[in-house]
Amino acid sequence: MGNESSNLITQIDFARAGQITPAMRVVAEKEGRSAEFIREGVAAGRIAIPANIHHTSLSPEGVGEGLRTKVNVNLGISGDLADESVEWQKVDTAIELGAEAIMDLSNSGKTQAFRTKLIEKSPAMIGTVPMYDAIGYLEKALIAIKAEDFLDVVRRHAEDGVDFVTIHAGMNRRTIESFKETGRLMNIVSRGGSLIFAWMEATGNENPFYEHYDEVLEILHEHDVTISIGDAMRPGCTYDATDAGQIAELIEIGKLTKRAWDAGVQVMVEGPGHMALNEIEANMRLEKRLCHNAPFYVLGPLVTDIAPGYDHITAAIGGAVAASSGADFLCYVTPAEHLRLPDAQDVRDGLVATKIAAHAADIAKGIPGARDRDNRMSDARRRMDWEEQFGLAIDPIRPRKVFESAPPSNEGTCTMCGKMCAVRTVNTIMDGLVIDLDNE
């Protein structure tokens, strides 16, 4: 399965040849795993290290089995809100709070300048959806775009240094037939998927990313870009979850996963979406089975459809269940989901909620070291060391702000319990002192 030495380009190439790369060593150190554990996972496709050879500022991360659950932040310029300074605020927030990935979903105008600056600056891995960029980059109407044009956009993103690209290659004629025959309440909600569906319906052609999949893989292999096989048929409401269209596409994605590995390209598989709580575990297991244990990257899932303005919470609930059941990578959802482009505060709120979900899942999965920070926090709380508590928090800013907004009259406590603070009382007794609550 290995390539000749001169053709070793991607992480999976090197892993299959028995070679441990610098990126694998960095991931091993971050994860508390041996470098050989990482190499074996990459060689088998269970772990991906998205690391474009042109992304020199990258601090590599591993995504997959036995590793910490990673979190992605979506941002980017839209046609209605094209304020680049706000997008940089979002980037700063993502990096400050430790997001492992940033997806630039810019879809208006010439996006390359923002993308290349982002790649130059970001230690986080960068992902894109080339389909979003096609119309602006090519300056053509959707109906006028040719299959080779789509490949040109993929090539440009790869050359710019993008670490992973979402390619909706699994939505072929067979998938669409299943969708049309069974119907849906919300139809197709994937933006990239809807554009490809429209192009296919207008031209009568097969999905260009499916028809020319081998050429796509050649481009990605040349620059070591990981393919994140997009779920064009993901459910957009809980009613549509686990339906024929979603599963038909997942079957196709499983076949495409093996083809990518055979071409020396790393793979992640994207998943739902909206999904009732009781369906999530089965969907995670199904993906791992059909897609040969490739890393699974999920949006949410959102466990109810009636919480606009709070969908970072519905997604965090689903994300915690998904990751504890086998998902490896969570895409954040913000309070602005379904309503508008998120602002910088939305990004912060969505990222914190998703990091909570990821961390909770890592504890449940028994990831090495996952409880260490929690134990340090508990020790700091017992000692009533507020500064240390703030420093250990997922978001260190908000707890400080909340604490300082209501100063307690009893030093070391907070205004919830004051002099009746259980921790303070027991600490005093354990120190052999007598505490008189009545006279304090």
The pLDDT profile of the chain, 440 residues, written as one tens digit per residue, is 444 556 899 999 999 999 999 999 999 999 999 999 999 999 999 999 999 999 999 999 999 999 999 999 999 987 777 788 999 999 999 999 999 999 999 987 778 999 999 999 999 999 999 998 888 788 889 999 999 999 999 999 999 999 999 999 999 999 999 999 999 999 999 999 999 999 999 999 999 999 999 999 999 999 999 999 999 999 999 999 999 999 999 999 999 999 999 999 999 999 999 999 999 999 999 999 999 999 999 999 999 999 999 999 999 999 999 999 999 999 999 999 999 999 999 999 999 999 999 999 999 999 999 999 999 999 999 999 999 999 999 999 999 999 999 999 888 899 999 889 999 899 989 888 766 665 55
Q: What is the DSSP string of 168-226?
A: --S--HHHHHHHHHH--SS----HHHHHHHHHHHHH-PPPHHHHTHHHHHHHHHHHTPE
Q: Hey, what are 395's tokens? A: 């978001």
212 is in an annotated binding site: no
Shortest CA distance to 156 belongs to which of 183, 138, 177? 138
Q: Cα 314 to chain center, whole Å?
A: 16
Q: Tokens 């037939």: give the residue.
A: 177
234 is in an annotated binding site: yes
Q: Hey, what are 64's tokens? A: 């997959």
User: Does 66-365 carry CATH code 3.20.20.540?
Assistant: yes
12 CB neighbour count, 10 Å cutoff: 29
The domain locations on the chain are 66-365, 371-431
74 is in an annotated binding site: yes
372 is in an annotated binding site: no
Pairing, β 101-104 against β 125-128: parallel
132 is in an annotated binding site: yes
103 is in an annotated binding site: yes
192 is in an annotated binding site: yes
Contact 121, 110 (CB under 8 A): no
d(CA 39, CA 41): 5
Pairing, β 125-128 against β 329-331: unpaired
266 CB neighbour count, 10 Å cutoff: 31
309 is in an annotated binding site: no
